Amino acid sequence: MRVISSDKGRAGLAAIFIFAALSASFYFIYPKFISTPAPAPAKKINADLPAPELVAEAPALSQAEESGTPLLKEASLALSKGDYARAIDFLREALKASPDSIELKEALAKALNRDAVNEYKAGNLSRAKTLIEEAVTLSGDKTFYANLASIKIRTGDLEGAKEALESMDRRDRAQDMALKSVYTRLGNKELDGNDFAPAMEYFEKALALDPGDGALRAELESLKGQAASEGKMGRAEGGHFLVKFEGGENAVTGHLIGLLLEEAYMKVGSDLGYYPADKIEALLYTNESFRDVTGSPSWAGAIFDGRIKVPAGGITGKTDELERVIFHEYTHAVVRRISNEKAPVWLNEGLAQYEEGKRSAPYAEGLKKAALSGKLSLRALEGSFMNLDADGARTAYLLSLSATEYIIGEFGIFSAKKVIEARADGMALDKAIQSALYLSYEELEKSWVSSLASP
């Protein structure tokens, strides 16, 4: 499972208390049926290990070097004053005159490393990376490789971090754990693309670095079982989707799901102006295996965790309920791609419900009471709903739909799309809302709540 940040964790905890209070005060009950599932995070292995802090070694010149050329004397003076950028310039010039000097290379590498640490602390990650990359061309000191790996981890260059850590002759425990985290994250990325074999290879490497990690071992075994199970599934492949199903008796159901997905592809694509180029997978499970494989709460009847997963038991033909489920889950697939997995859950769920055809109007009186309670908070709806009970989840879904409907009604559905596009570009949610809607997050929430209080 993907681990949420501490801020998201606090938001989720706040949501539980808020929704518990609101659920008790609402007189309506939002319907519980399988077209309102939460987008469960993919079953992933915990990689929540921060990159090690950078090590800043104090650069020094030998007495012979300090008493040498004017360039070296100037470099030594700059180093003593902590002016590493100036010292680097002098050392580079000195190295041009003595390109085979190991001592000069080591001194320059240390100065580059120290300057990189300063740039890193100032938030200049690109500059820090450039300096460290030059240092590792001059010296094989493991400090420089470790620092390079740390910067690459923080900038999201996992392949580069892996290469840097693997290049070290000897690693200490902290560096082994950093490499374990990198392997695990790379494995999780492969799971995003539904590539089980390379994912398991990375997880095996991670486990080799920490054989005592029982949770990692258990998750890896579970993943192997899931991969084996999927290898036995039947397949129905169309232009935009691959449907896999358990048991030959579900072949007709698989074909039906494929047709509904093609309908969703056209309808949601038209509304949001987005048609995925890649082929999306949908997996149909027996009712018994669905809970075991997905680990979803009892109130969720289908999930999207990078792939659409539906319990196929009891499906004998096209129904309105089934159509809602498919449209809902397909919308999650689209939002995931547009937002690069960074959409707030309330907007993700709101769009999914809107596209399945659900509206909040029948619950206007209950929503009014909630608005007048003064307890509504969109920020509390940003994180996962998976820890909520059934009543809390239904409340969270309804509030998400209501807030999303408000945005669509006031600004248009493409403004909602602009919010998640901005998130994909790395913009903070507050700024994404300001950029797309021309009002602050707080102003949006206040306007939404006011619209509920006086419908």
For residues 275 and 60, give the distance between their C-alpha atoms in angstroms, rounded to a whole number: 58
For residue 263, the model assigns a pLDDT of 95
Q: Mind giving me the DSSP string for 287-310?
A: HHHHHHHH---TT-S-EESSSEEE
Read off the pLDDT of residues 114-138 as tens digits, 9 standing for 90 and up. 899 889 888 899 999 999 999 999 9
Model confidence at 67: pLDDT above 80: no
Model confidence at 100: pLDDT above 80: yes
The CATH architecture one would assign to domain 63-175 is: Alpha Horseshoe (1.25)
Contact 153, 161 (CB under 8 A): yes
Q: What mean pLDDT value characterizes the chain?
A: 82
For residues 303 and 451, give the distance between their C-alpha atoms in angstroms, rounded to a whole number: 31
Residue 2, SS3 per DSSP: coil
The CATH architecture one would assign to domain 234-337 is: 3-Layer(aba) Sandwich (3.40)
**Least trusted range by pLDDT, from 3-7, 38-42, 339-343, 364-368:** 3-7
Most confident of the following: 78-87, 97-106, 340-349? 340-349
Extract the tokens encoding 337: 């791609």
Number of helices (H) and strands (E) in the chain: give both, helices first.
20, 5
For residue 190, the model assigns a pLDDT of 86
For residue 54, the model assigns a pLDDT of 55
For residue 266, give the nearest of 318, 327, 342 by alpha carbon: 327
Calculate ∠ Cα 80-85-90, nearest 5°: 75
Mean pLDDT of 316-336: 90
Distance of alpha carbon 437 from the chain centroid? 24
For residue 16, the model assigns a pLDDT of 44
State the sign of the Cα–Cα–Cα–Cα dihedral 443, 444, 447, 449: negative
Residue 4, SS3 per DSSP: coil
For residue 306, the model assigns a pLDDT of 82
For residues 156 and 143, give the distance between their C-alpha atoms in angstroms, rounded to a whole number: 20
Residue 55, SS3 per DSSP: coil
Mean pLDDT of 335-363: 95
Mean pLDDT of 390-395: 89
For residue 97, the model assigns a pLDDT of 87
Q: Where do we find the tokens 């494989």?
A: 293
Model confidence at 142: pLDDT above 90: no
pLDDT band at 53 (very low <50, low <70, confident <90, very high): low
Residue 283, SS3 per DSSP: strand
Q: Which residues pair with 281 in a beta bridge?
A: 242
Mean pLDDT of 183-212: 88
**Least trusted range by pLDDT, from 69-73, 137-141, 288-292:** 288-292
For residues 438 and 412, give the distance between their C-alpha atoms in angstroms, rounded to a whole number: 13
For residue 212, the model assigns a pLDDT of 93
Mean pLDDT of 324-347: 95
pLDDT band at 173 (very low <50, low <70, confident <90, very high): confident
For residue 213, the model assigns a pLDDT of 92
Model confidence at 51: pLDDT above 60: no
For residue 265, the model assigns a pLDDT of 96
**Least trusted range by pLDDT, from 182-186, 242-246, 336-340, 404-408:** 242-246
pLDDT band at 166 (very low <50, low <70, confident <90, very high): very high
Domain extent listing, the chain: 6-33+341-453, 63-175, 188-228, 234-337
For residues 370 and 359, give the distance between their C-alpha atoms in angstroms, rounded to a whole number: 17
**Least trusted range by pLDDT, from 354-363, 387-396, 433-442:** 387-396
pLDDT band at 239 (very low <50, low <70, confident <90, very high): confident
Does residue 65 or residue 225 have the better pLDDT?
Answer: 225
Read off the pLDDT of residues 269-308 as tens digits, 9 standing for 90 and up. 999 999 999 889 888 887 766 766 666 666 667 788 888 8
Angle between helices 173-192 and 196-209 (to 10 degrees): 170
For residue 153, the model assigns a pLDDT of 87
* 270 burial level (CB within 10 Å; 0-12, 13-18, 19+): exposed
Residue 135, SS3 per DSSP: helix
pLDDT band at 455 (very low <50, low <70, confident <90, very high): low
For residues 17 and 9, give the distance between their C-alpha atoms in angstroms, rounded to a whole number: 13
Calculate ∠ Cα 104-110-115, nearest 5°: 125
For residue 246, give the nearest of 280, 287, 281, 279 by alpha carbon: 287
For residue 28, the model assigns a pLDDT of 41
Mean pLDDT of 243-268: 86
Q: Would you give the DSSP letter of residue 234?
A: E
Mean pLDDT of 208-234: 86
235 phi/psi in degrees, rounded to 5:
-135, 140
For residue 345, the model assigns a pLDDT of 96
Mean pLDDT of 419-429: 95
Mean pLDDT of 373-381: 92
Q: Mind giving me the DSSP string for 319-346?
A: -HHHHHHHHHHHHHHHHHHHHTT---HH
Model confidence at 235: pLDDT above 50: yes
